Amino acid sequence: MDRFDAMRLFTRIVELGNFSKAADDLKLPAATATHAIRQLEARLGVRLLHRTTRKVTPTSDGQAYYGRCLRILADVEETEAGFGHSGVAPKGRLRIDLPTLGRVFVLPRLHEFFSRYPDIELEIGLGDRHVDLVAEGVDCVLRVGELRDSSMVGRRVATLPQVTCASAAYLARHSMPATLDELRGHQAVNWYSSSSARMLPFEFMVEGTLRSLSLPGKVSVSEGEAYAACCVGDMGLAQLPRYRVHALLQSGRLCEVLPQHPPPPLPVTVLYPHQRQLSPRVRVFADWVAEVMATAHAVQPPIC
């Protein structure tokens, strides 16, 4: 195993916290992985990893070496990609994580990405949970909402208009509010952050000023599909991206509430660790997602 392959193996062990998982990930025998790390530690003259029966973690020297390895591997990949005119295109595996809107806008157009970059393989996770990119070995994620993780590099690719809405059946029982003051007495489907467990307030734009209101509710969720389903199920008011409820608004199952005071739009961002920003695979994927999201509002998909 050459030095670059040993570096790749070492970084995956650190990211996955396990020799066997890293070996499987790189399609290596476990014994080969173990032997390669022993040789690497012997060549460097330092111990890089703490090994226990449950987890593998880097030593202080290992953590420093991990950072250097990431930069070196990114530089190598960047250098090779710079000769794309000679036929070298980005290739290899890219781990990404997509929120709910990925199923709508990104997945149906993946064939376009692979037609451009046939040598890239995508490993895709789906969901609205908070992903620890470094610990889970994820190269980049698409995130909706304001970012709170300053250790990552973010590239905004779109903003999603939002709408306050409720089911027609719910409004028939509780009446349609005409002003913010008339929201008193209404129920809400509340959203809480899965990472902080904080309940997020409803937000409205009033003459260019953001107003936040907390509304009572019998159900709180932290996942997009469940949030929309509870609104459709007559549980109260919700604030959702308009694309998700476009068809339901057209059919009359949901009704827009207080359209004169819309929620602020949601930013959509491609997010990746600093050490991944030079990776050609990450760059071309981020560029492509930006193209996809730039046309996301041209056609409203039939959601729900």
What local confidence, expressed as pLDDT, does residue 191 receive? Answer: 93
What local confidence, expressed as pLDDT, does residue 278 receive? Answer: 57
CA angle centred on 155, ends 26 and 165, rounded to 5°: 110
pLDDT, one tens digit for every residue, the chain (304 residues): 889 899 989 988 988 888 998 898 888 999 999 999 999 999 999 999 998 877 899 999 998 998 888 878 877 776 766 555 445 578 778 889 998 888 889 999 999 999 999 989 899 988 777 777 766 778 888 888 877 656 678 888 888 999 999 999 999 999 999 999 999 889 999 998 776 778 999 999 999 999 999 999 999 998 888 999 999 999 999 999 999 999 999 999 999 999 999 999 999 988 887 755 557 888 899 899 989 988 765 444 333 3
What local confidence, expressed as pLDDT, does residue 183 receive? Answer: 94
Distance CA(134)–CA(154), nearest Å, equals 15
Contacts of 223 (CB under 8 A, 6+ apart): 100, 127, 128, 129, 194
Distances (CA, A) of 255 to 11, 115, 251: 51, 41, 9
What local confidence, expressed as pLDDT, does residue 82 receive? Answer: 59
What local confidence, expressed as pLDDT, does residue 203 receive? Answer: 96
Largest CA distance in the chain: 74
Distance CA(164)–CA(261), nearest Å, equals 9
Could you give all domains of the chain from N- to C-terminal order, each with its CATH number? 3-81 (1.10.10.10), 89-157+267-294 (3.40.190.10), 162-264 (3.40.190.10)
pTM for the structure as a whole: 0.69
